[in-house]
Amino acid sequence: MKTFFISHADCALHRAPSDHPECPERLAAIDDQLIASGIEPWLRHREAPPVTRDQLLRVHDAAYVDALEAGVPEHGRWVTLDGGDTYVGEHSLQAALRAAGAVVLGVDLVLANVTHTAFCAVRPPGHHAGRDYGMGFCLFNNVAVGAAHALEAHGLSRVAIVDFDVHHGNGTEDIFRGDPRVLFCSSFQHPFYPFSGADTHSENIINLPMPRDTDGAALRSVVAERCLPLLEAFRPELIMVSAGFDGHLEDDMANFRLVEADYEWLTRQLYDIAGRHCEGRMVSVLEGGYNLSALGRSVVAHLKVLAES
């Protein structure tokens, strides 16, 4: 079975007013590397549908969704969320709807056994968005929308979400903290934006704060010791991934020192657990990753493992 690569042209229309690291060129860089790497024959492309309001409301408050819809600015204008650099422009909402819709489609395809694995190449990213807030370049929590869809529409009872972005997945944690149907594991640089996650106490949340300059060897040993055994014991029916590649050595957004081989290793551990517990079902969702070359290469390393299914 091929890995489904889900995206939509609208995801490239979302744009900040000037130079911003979370830019449309990120998706183009991934596309370029897909071609350069020769991995294309193992992928099947699908267009993301827009997420429905009902699907969004499983994890977001109606008032937040309404406010985003009402606040879409006219051409050439932007509003910011979080008082900072999370921009909403004229096309941002349609991009965000496709980004979340991609993950819903990925979950539907994997749970219908059309494929075992899916990767959603989408933006804006999602893991910093909570029920009633957007922040950190995120509007809707794409991976959470997908996990909730797996639980509510497909009746699953155990979904694991593993977030290896260099930033803590605070939004995903906020949405699922205390929900025993979801096991959430997030590895992240600490102390660092968004300055959360180091002192969470919840049975279903595994946070792995790690210092700046963490390299692949250090990350692998912490993940192997503190995440994988709990993931194995959870016996997930679906593994979802918040796949952020901003911990790459060449990525200036943060200070981890990971390389493509580390993302390949991480993906393989999850892939093996998925193989043992849920017939290899994995849905992965792009989060961060801002050095264009490193992002493209790292996504290919990730996809090479997924495409073995």
**Given the rule CB under 5 A, which of 181-189, 206-214, 227-235, 282-290 is the region that contacts Zn ion?**
282-290
**Given the rule CB under 5 A, which of 23-31, 78-86, 194-202, 241-249 is the region that contacts Zn ion?**
241-249
Size of the site for Zn ion (CB under 5 A): 5
Q: By rule CB under 5 A, what string of x and - marks binding of each residue 147-186 to Zn ion?
A: ------------------x-x-------------------
The residues facing 79 across adjacent strands are 88
Report the residue number, 115 or 142, with the smaller CB distance to Zn ion.
Answer: 142
Task: Report, in Å, the least distance between residue 18 CB and Zn ion.
Answer: 20
The only residue of 21, 236, 244, 296 in contact with Zn ion, by rule CB under 5 A: 244
Report the residue number, 101 or 244, with the smaller CB distance to Zn ion.
Answer: 244
SS3 string of the chain?
CCEEEEECHHHHCCCCCCCCCCCCHHHHHHHHHHHHHCCHHHEEEEECCCCCHHHHCCCCCHHHHHHHHHCCCCCCCCEEECCCCEEECCCHHHHHHHHHHHHHHHHHHHHCCCCCEEEECCCCCCCCCECCECECCECCCHHHHHHHHHHHCCCCCCEEEEECCCCCCHHHHHHHCCCCCEEEEEEEECCCCCCCCCCCCCCCEEEEEECCCCEHHHHHHHHHHHCHHHHHHHCCCEEEEEECCCCECCCCCCCCEECHHHHHHHHHHHHHHHHHHCCCCEEEEECCCCCHHHHHHHHHHHHHHHCCC
Amino acid in the structure at residue 61: D
d(CA 186, CA 173) in angstroms, rounded, equals 9
d(CA 4, CA 176) in angstroms, rounded, equals 26
| HSE-CB for 193 with a 13 A CA cutoff | 14
- Residue 19: both structure tokens together: 């130079």
Residue 247 binds Zn ion (CB under 5 A): no
Task: Report, in Å, the least distance between residue 287 CB and Zn ion.
Answer: 6
Task: Report, in Å, the least distance between residue 254 CB and Zn ion.
Answer: 7
Task: Report, in Å, the least distance between residue 76 CB and Zn ion.
Answer: 28
Report the residue number, 246 or 262, with the smaller CB distance to Zn ion.
Answer: 246
* Residue in the shown chain whose Cβ atom is closest to Zn ion: 288
Task: Report, in Å, the least distance between residue 124 CB and Zn ion.
Answer: 12
Contact 131, 139 (CB under 8 A): no
Task: Report, in Å, the least distance between residue 200 CB and Zn ion.
Answer: 18
d(CA 204, CA 172) in angstroms, rounded, equals 12
Q: By rule CB under 5 A, what string of x and - marks binding of each residue 192-231 to Zn ion?
A: ----------------------------------------
Residue 246 binds Zn ion (CB under 5 A): yes
Task: Report, in Å, the least distance between residue 135 CB and Zn ion.
Answer: 12
Report the residue number, 115 or 172, with the smaller CB distance to Zn ion.
Answer: 172
Task: Report, in Å, the least distance between residue 290 CB and Zn ion.
Answer: 8
**Given the rule CB under 5 A, which of 28-36, 144-152, 173-181, 283-291 is the region that contacts Zn ion?**
283-291
Task: Report, in Å, the least distance between residue 101 CB and Zn ion.
Answer: 22
Report the residue number, 88 or 295, with the smaller CB distance to Zn ion.
Answer: 295
**Given the rule CB under 5 A, which of 144-152, 216-224, 228-236, 238-246 is the region that contacts Zn ion?**
238-246
Report the residue number, 123 or 167, with the smaller CB distance to Zn ion.
Answer: 167
Chain residues in the site for Zn ion (CB under 5 A): 165, 167, 244, 246, 288
